[in-house]
Amino acid sequence: MKVTTCRVHVAQQQDVHLTVTESRQHELSPDSNLPVQLLTIRVASTNPAVQAFDIWLNSTEYGELCEKLRAPIRRAAHVVIHQSLGDLFLETFASLVEVNPAYSVPSSQELEACIGCMQTRASVKLVKTCQEAATGECQQCYCRPMWCLTCMGKWFASRQDPLRPDTWLASRVPCPTCRARFCILDVCTVR
């Protein structure tokens, strides 16, 4: 059932087909609250008297909705659903790192497998770029590239206060290898 200012939409569960047609992510930024992904779900009924309508749902409640429904929810091919804060964070982390300056590896240096997952090659290097070398709380890390972007993002997220996601992006965490402190601005993609 969906209630709007001038209409009430009612559809019976046994007659409906639900399809996630769109997902919209709201940016996690240092001064915003929780990051959210909103899903648009189209409710279509096999009963010709019932007009199709859309409902909106926070992606973290998607699992609960699936459990309560007796029929599966279909999903348009292009829609990716992030059900946890960690998933949401990783996506934001990756998009922020993308705009940081890239780091060129010396041509003599071979990129090794990421020591976190051993599945892909190392793809990031910590370079202090947020402030001048001798100022601020961040420190220069001298480790060679050892981690992939996803593992670095997971590490970053794992060092955060799970109850204060609004502080995640602005915080500093130690390098997993040498413990030099870094922030998101210091994570550079290796070219």
Binding site for Zn ion (CB under 5 A): 114, 116-117, 130, 138, 141, 143, 148, 151, 175, 177-178, 180, 183, 186
Q: Which of residues 53 and 155 has its CB atom nearest to Zn ion in the complex? A: 155
Alpha carbon distance 4, 50 (integer Å): 16
Q: Which of residues 41 and 149 has its CB atom nearest to Zn ion in the complex? A: 149
Q: Which of residues 43 and 126 has its CB atom nearest to Zn ion in the complex? A: 126
CB of 99 to Zn ion, least distance (A): 15
The enclosing H or E element of 95 equals helix 85-98
Alpha carbon distance 62, 101 (integer Å): 36
CB of 81 to Zn ion, least distance (A): 23
Q: Which of residues 62 and 168 has its CB atom nearest to Zn ion in the complex? A: 168
CB of 52 to Zn ion, least distance (A): 43
Cβ burial 142-167 (10 Å sphere, 16+ → b, else e): eeebbbbbbbbbbebbeebeeeebbe
Look at residues 172, 116, 174 and name the one whose alpha carbon lies nearest to residue 149: 116
CB of 27 to Zn ion, least distance (A): 20
Phi, psi for 149 (deg, rounded to 5): -60, -40
The amino acid at residue 110 is: E
